[in-house]
Every structure is written in C-alpha cells, then in structure tokens.
Chains A and B, each alone.
Chain A
C-alpha cells in the first residue's frame, strides 16, 4: 500500500479485507458476502438519516434503494481495490462509496418525484428584517436591495445555482441532476456566485466582512 503523509497506523483487519477480496483468494466469496452485508447495513442507516429528502417512500422502494446502493458500492470497492492506500481503515474507505451512492440515488429519487421548478425558486421576497431598531431595519432593507440587484447581475447559471442552493435549499445533487451536470460543477458555480455577490456588497459599501474575499 502507498501511504501518504496523513495516515493512520496499518491494521491487520484492513489488510485481511484487501487480501481476501482479491480474485483467487480461497475466502473471496465469503469476504464479498460479508462486505456486502455490512455495506447494506450502512446503506439502510444512511438512507434513514436522509429520509427527510425521500418523502413518503414506501417500504419496498426504500429497500430497493438500499439494495442498489449497497450493490453499486460493492462494485466500486471491488474494482478500485488497488486504489486503497491505507489512509483509513478499509471499512471506512468502503463506507465512503455507500455515501456517494446514497447521495446520488437520493438526489435522483427526489428529482423524479418532485423536480424543483424554476418558477418556485425565487429571491425577490428576501426575508423581512427582525432588527429591533428602525435605523437597523432601514440599513438591512438597503442591504437586501443591494443583494437583490447583485443577484440579478450574476450570470444566468450562477444566479440559477445560487438561488436554488443557497436561498431555496435545493440539494446540490438534485440541482446537478436537473441541469445534467455533477456536484463539483454546481459547487464551482455556487462558489463563483458567492464571491461575485460578496464583492458587489463590499463595493456597495455594505457591512459585509471581507474575510473570505480574494
């Protein structure tokens, strides 16, 4: 195993997993079955944790999502076995693929059941101020007005992503599915939108800290 600078000590359990999962090992079938079983438990747990995104999903449908996530994660683990570098325990590395599969499947499920409509994604009604003093309230209204104007000046894609993800809390993977792209590309749009908006707010003289600005 190639070990990087931020590693944990090698452990026999991880080495055993990798050895036994290799093609030709006499215990391979048993090891694959054991791994599949634990990945399925992790998939059920993670799907339960994200149940809020799944709506009123029925029992068999929920089971099917868990089975698919576990199976796809297992395939990923087995095909990438040589990529395991021992930066973590083997099981933690394997569970990571369950997280990625669950993320993708939950997003696709959410999108199929209730695709976010462009019409529903609004920013014109930014929240009312709860400032206790009239002066503070006026200042906040001016900030909101400046923010709305800055949002309108974003590129179309930056505006769409910022309004959906940052203002309307559409899950980033759901939006990626709708736009036919991936999480990383959406995040880049979001990052650029945030940076442009921050620059606009600073340039407009509003009280926005520059701690994240370039």
Chain B
C-alpha cells in the first residue's frame, strides 16, 4: 500500500510518455549516454518520462546501467 503523501506520484501520468516499446528500442543508447555523463532526457525525452512511471522498464534500465558499468566491454 502507499501513503497518501505519495498520491501525486501514485497518479503520475505525464504527457509525452513514450511507452514501453519505444523505450526498449533505444534503452542501450539511453544508458550509454548516461555512462558518458550526457543527460539522456535531451535526446530521448519520452523515454525519460516513461522510466519515471513504468516499474518494469525502470528495472530493466537499472539492470542495464549496472551491467554496462560493471562488465563494460568484456575482455576477450
């Protein structure tokens, strides 16, 4: 359950949300920009909005960011 103080967040439905499918296409590019210190919301504003609201895509994003940081270009 959620606290009433979080009501605004609970009902977050922002214009411009790109949705799950659009984000899946460019999630790697989004993460790469973050790793390079570039604000990905400038290039992909709809996905930035979406990641604030979609727990599934946010989990994928967080996992990919961590994996790219941790494993990077794997030594071959």
Contacts and interface: CB of A to CB of B under 8 A. Distances in A.
Interface residues of A, number: 64
Contacts of A168: 1
B13 A194 contact: yes
A88 B36 CA distance: 11
Q: Determine chain A's interface SS by DSSP, over half rule.
A: helix
A88 B60 contact: no
Interface stretch (A60-68, A109-117, A181-189): A181-189
B71 to A, nearest CB: 6
A162 to B, nearest CB: 9
B11 to A, nearest CB: 4
A1 to B, nearest CB: 13
A92 B64 contact: yes
Nearest to A141: B4
B32 A87 contact: yes
A50 B59 contact: yes
A91 interface: yes
B2 A100 contact: no
Contacts of B64: 92, 95-96, 99
A192 B21 CA distance: 17
A117 to B, nearest CB: 17
B1 A187 contact: no
Contact of A172 (B5, B54, B68): B54
A91 B74 contact: yes
A6 interface: yes
A89 interface: yes
B11 A201 contact: yes
A143 B11 CA distance: 13
Contacts of A6: 26, 29, 33, 43-44
17 contacts: A6-B33, A8-B36, A11-B73, A13-B73, A34-B76, A50-B59, A89-B32, A91-B68, A91-B71, A92-B28, A92-B32, A92-B64, A130-B3, A165-B55, A172-B56, A191-B13, A194-B12
Interface of A: 4-8, 11, 13, 31, 34, 37-38, 41-42, 45-46, 49-50, 87-89, 91-93, 95-96, 98-100, 102-103, 125-127, 129-130, 140, 143-144, 147, 165-168, 171-173, 183-184, 187-188, 190-192, 194-195, 197-198, 201, 208-209, 211-214
Given A93-B28, A188-B19, A208-B11, 13 more contacts: A7-B29, A8-B33, A34-B76, A91-B71, A92-B68, A126-B1, A166-B2, A183-B20, A184-B20, A194-B10, A194-B12, A194-B53, A197-B11
Interface of B: 1-5, 7-8, 10-15, 17, 19-21, 24, 26-29, 31-33, 36, 43-44, 53-57, 59-60, 63-64, 66-68, 70-74, 76
